[in-house]
């Protein structure tokens, strides 16, 4: 009797375990031989709800589009395996360093906090998404192939969208950086930059004070001269304050940014020139061409693949 009871108990435990697995991790779609697990889709859908307001009536539609994206990712990874494409963790880290340089962020912890605050996901999830995007780029480059845009195409885009490319400002600045985040240090630096501004307004040379006191090594030796800079590349609060300046030679109030305290000497403003953003325009046009070709590739790949979707109430796009 005891042996039967023990067997029954083991059977019930196994049945309970299998039932739980089916409940939380059942297969919601299959792409050739690659399963897409429901729990992964639900996790991504919950994240989507954090960054996008979705009416309950649209849940099935949005979940269906998310399933479509996971199917695309599976097709990309399958093609990458066929082509022996490998995206290493080191390559992902290098890409993160490139992104940080473009955003002028030097501290990795600061970057992580920004990502988690803005994207509403963990940094680990962000790296996984970045890895998928790198696989996608490699597959597009090797398996699809997209011709780069010409300078003529880039100039045509610039002329058509000139009102949307933003502004450049010609400025000089003096920067004082706090040594730490203590209230006393913030107060010391704030008082120091206010005193420097008072001296400039009293007639002392902005350039001489920048050479002597500014803690921006790239511009201090040039009297604080930053030249023509694109507003969109600057710290958002700093850029907003600089944009308000109008008169040549105007001295700004004290401006606090994420790197420290500034005073700015305004020298001019203009629409961003083609020469200064031609590379970005070429990249944008290339991305647009790439997206178009990738969409065609995915459509053809889906037609030639064995794809089964088990999601209830799936809505075709």
CATH of the domain at 228: 3.10.50.40
User: Which residues face 126 on adjacent strands?
Assistant: none
Task: Output the pLDDT for position 137.
Answer: 87
Q: Are residues 43 and 81 in the same domain?
A: yes
Residue with the two structure tokens 């064995």? 306
CA distances (Å), origin 69, targets 129, 210, 270, 301 = 12, 52, 41, 14
Q: Are residues 185 and 254 in the same domain?
A: yes
Each residue's pLDDT tens digit, 32-78: 999 999 998 998 898 888 888 999 999 999 999 999 999 999 999 99
**Inside any domain, residue 16:** no
Task: Output the pLDDT for position 4.
Answer: 43
**Inside any domain, residue 248:** yes
Q: Are residues 46 and 109 in the same domain?
A: yes
User: What six digits make up the tokens of 216?
Assistant: 């921006």
* Closest by CA position to 32, among listed 313, 310, 307: 307
Task: Output the pLDDT for position 12.
Answer: 43
Domain range for 34: 21-147+285-309
**Inside any domain, residue 278:** no
Q: What angle do CA 293, 314, 311 make, to 5 degrees?
A: 105
Q: Are residues 31 and 142 in the same domain?
A: yes
Along the 317 residues of the chain, how does pLDDT read in single tens digits? 444 444 444 444 444 444 443 444 689 999 999 999 999 899 889 888 888 899 999 999 999 999 999 999 999 999 999 999 999 999 999 999 999 988 878 889 988 988 888 888 888 889 999 999 999 988 888 877 778 899 999 999 999 999 999 999 999 999 999 999 899 999 999 999 999 999 999 999 999 999 999 999 999 999 999 999 999 889 889 999 999 999 999 999 999 998 999 999 999 999 999 999 999 999 999 989 988 988 999 999 999 999 999 998 999 97
Count of domains in the chain?
2
Q: Are residues 92 and 141 in the same domain?
A: yes
Task: Output the pLDDT for position 117.
Answer: 86
Q: Are residues 33 and 78 in the same domain?
A: yes
Distance of CA 144 to the CA centre of its chain: 25
**Inside any domain, residue 161:** no
Q: Are residues 188 and 141 in the same domain?
A: no
Burial class (CB in 10 A: 0-12, 13-18, 19+), 210: buried
Task: Output the pLDDT for position 214.
Answer: 98
Find the radius of gyration of the CA atoms of the chain: 28
Task: Output the pLDDT for position 29.
Answer: 95
Q: Are residues 181 and 252 in the same domain?
A: yes
Task: Output the pLDDT for position 253.
Answer: 97
Global pTM reads 0.62
* Closest by CA position to 38, among listed 52, 50, 23: 23
**Inside any domain, residue 154:** no
Q: Are residues 231 and 305 in the same domain?
A: no
Residues 6+ apart with CB under 8 A from 230: 166, 167, 168, 272, 276, 277
Show the DSSP H helices in 140-176 as ranges.
151-160
Do 216 and 224 meet the contact criterion of CB atoms below 8 Å apart? Answer: yes
Whole-number Å distance between alpha carbons of 194 and 263: 9
CA distances (Å), origin 64, targets 13, 104, 124, 137 = 34, 37, 24, 24
Whole-number Å distance between alpha carbons of 307 and 197: 67
Q: Are residues 118 and 172 in the same domain?
A: no
**Inside any domain, residue 118:** yes
Each residue's pLDDT tens digit, 214-237: 999 999 999 999 999 999 889 889
Residues of 48-81 as b/e, b for ≥16 C-beta within 10 angstroms? eeeeeeeeeeeeebbbbebbbebbbbbbbbbbbe
**Inside any domain, residue 242:** yes
Beta-strand runs (E) in the chain: 27-31, 34-37, 167-176, 225-230, 255-256, 261-271, 307-309
Q: Are residues 108 and 256 in the same domain?
A: no
Burial class (CB in 10 A: 0-12, 13-18, 19+), 175: buried
CATH (domain of 140): 1.10.4030.10
Show the DSSP H helices in 83-177 as ranges.
89-102, 108-119, 123-139, 151-160
**Inside any domain, residue 1:** no
User: What six digits make up the tokens of 304?
Assistant: 């030639």
Task: Output the pLDDT for position 144.
Answer: 78
User: What six digits make up the tokens of 194?
Assistant: 């206010």
Q: Are residues 238 and 174 in the same domain?
A: yes
């Amino acid at each position: 009797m005891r042996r039967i009871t023990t067997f029954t108990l083991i059977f019930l435990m196994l049945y309970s375990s299998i039932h739980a697995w089916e409940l939380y991790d059942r297969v919601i779609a299959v792409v050739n031989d690659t399963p897409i697990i429901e729990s992964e889709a639900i996790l991504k859908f919950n994240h989507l709800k954090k960054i996008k307001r979705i009416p309950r009536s649209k849940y099935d539609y949005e979940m269906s589009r998310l399933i479509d994206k996971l199917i695309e990712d599976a097709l990309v990874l399958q093609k990458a395996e066929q082509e022996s494409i490998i995206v290493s963790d080191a390559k992902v880290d290098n890409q993160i360093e490139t992104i940080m340089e473009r955003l002028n962020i030097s501290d990795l912890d600061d970057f992580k906090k920004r990502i988690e605050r803005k994207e509403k996901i963990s940094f680990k999830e962000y790296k996984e998404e970045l890895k998928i995007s790198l696989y996608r780029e490699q597959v597009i480059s090797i398996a699809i192939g997209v011709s780069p845009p010409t300078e003529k195409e880039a100039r045509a885009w610039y002329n058509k969208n000139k009102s949307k490319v933003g502004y450049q400002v010609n400025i000089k600045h003096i920067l004082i950086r706090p040594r730490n985040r203590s209230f006393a240090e913030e107060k010391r630096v704030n008082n120091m930059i206010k005193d420097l501004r008072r001296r400039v307004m009293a007639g002392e040379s902005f350039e001489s004070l920048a050479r002597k006191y500014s803690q921006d090594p790239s511009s201090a030796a040039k009297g604080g001269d930053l030249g023509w800079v694109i507003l969109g590349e600057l710290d958002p609060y700093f850029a907003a304050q600089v944009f308000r300046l109008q008169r040549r030679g105007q001295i700004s109030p004290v401006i606090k940014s994420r790197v420290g305290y500034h005073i700015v000497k305004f020298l001019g403003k203009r629409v961003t020139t083609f020469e200064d953003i031609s590379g970005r325009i070429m990249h944008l046009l290339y991305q647009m061409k790439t997206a178009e070709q990738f969409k065609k590739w995915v459509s053809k790949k889906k037609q030639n693949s064995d794809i089964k979707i088990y999601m209830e109430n799936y809505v075709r796009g």
